[in-house]
Amino acid sequence: MNPQPAPTELPAKLTLKAVSRIFGEVTALAPTDLSVEAGEFISVVGPSGCGKSTMFNIIAGVLAPSNGKVLIDGKDVTNSSGHVGYMLQKDLLLPWRTVLDNIVLGAILTGGASRAEREEGVALARRYGLGDFINHYPAALSGGMRQRVALMRTLAMHHDVMLLDEPFGALDSQTRLAMQQWLLSVWEKEKRTIVFVTHDIDEAVFLADRVVVMTPRPGRIHEIIDVPIKRPRPVSSLTDPEFVRLKQRILATIYQDPRAANDEAAHDE
């Protein structure tokens, strides 16, 4: 059972209010509302071009919305950066910097990493399985390890909200599964709020408390689906009947297959 949080007077951790973005003729994001509670893990899924990265860029304050507001803890942060940790779709490590330097890069770029910040970087690397690699260069690491370094860099920036844009997209499926489990263990320890973009529906459902399903032309949130699968989630969750049912529902939404949608409606009570 995954009861809904009790209604509260506290503002949500992250709120989008009618946020939209138009590029010339293209409505990259139609007016969008979203509310994310502290500590939630939200997946955002949808085909290429449905506005996922546009939404993230607006939340991160690096792209101006055409309209609407972004709030964090109820505070208006529209058009202002530095309030969230953001791991870009192409979050490249600096090849000429060590693993440790890459982890503390945020501090290096804003005036230099203090001894305490470097020690914290070492502690992060140890806690999450890269302790033996802090003095290596990225070229010596596997793809999964490089993504872990990029994620630790985002963690080291100490924001409650982390936006992760398809962080595992380039990994093979087995490494990807290992990384998903690793990410869940990090999330459980760090108690951050995570919004995670992926076009992989298994990944979206496996990780999330709720899945935001987006559709293109115009890019918008079509549906938000609760994932009432208990945690911790073993790999066997992937074949749980509830998991399969949620996956079918998301596929039907994305591909707008009328038969699939009707089948789904027939199963809904």
Q: Which residues bind ligand ADP (CB under 6 A)?
A: 23, 26, 28, 46, 48-54, 219
Q: Count how many Cα atoms sit within 13 Å of the Cα of residue 98 in the half-sphere of its side chain.
A: 13
Nearest distance, CB of residue 219 and ligand ADP, angstroms = 5
Q: Helices marked H in the chain — which ranges?
A: 52-59, 99-103, 105-109, 115-127, 143-155, 173-190, 201-207, 241-255, 258-267
Burial 30-41 (b: 16+ CB within 10 A, else e): bbbebebbbbbb
Minimal distance in Å, beta carbon 53 to Mg ion?
Answer: 3
Question: Closest CB to ligand ADP among 31 and 219?
Answer: 219
The interface partner of residue 28, options being Mg ion, ligand ADP, none and the CB cut-off 5 to 8 Å by kind, is ligand ADP
198 binds Mg ion (CB under 5 A): no
The smaller minimum CB distance to ligand ADP, of residues 62 and 184, is found at 62
Residue 133 corresponds to which tokens in the numbers above? 């690699």
Q: Which of 27, 32, 43, 53 binds Mg ion (CB under 5 A)?
A: 53
CB of 244 to ligand ADP, least distance (A): 25
Take residue 84 and report the two structure tokens written for it.
């969230």
Residue nearer to ligand ADP on the CB measure, 51 or 61: 51
- 32 is an interface residue for Mg ion by CB under 5 A: no
Where b means 16+ CB within 10 Å and e means fewer, 126-144 reads: eebebeebbeebbeebeeb
Q: Which residues here bind Mg ion, judged by CB under 5 A?
A: 52-53
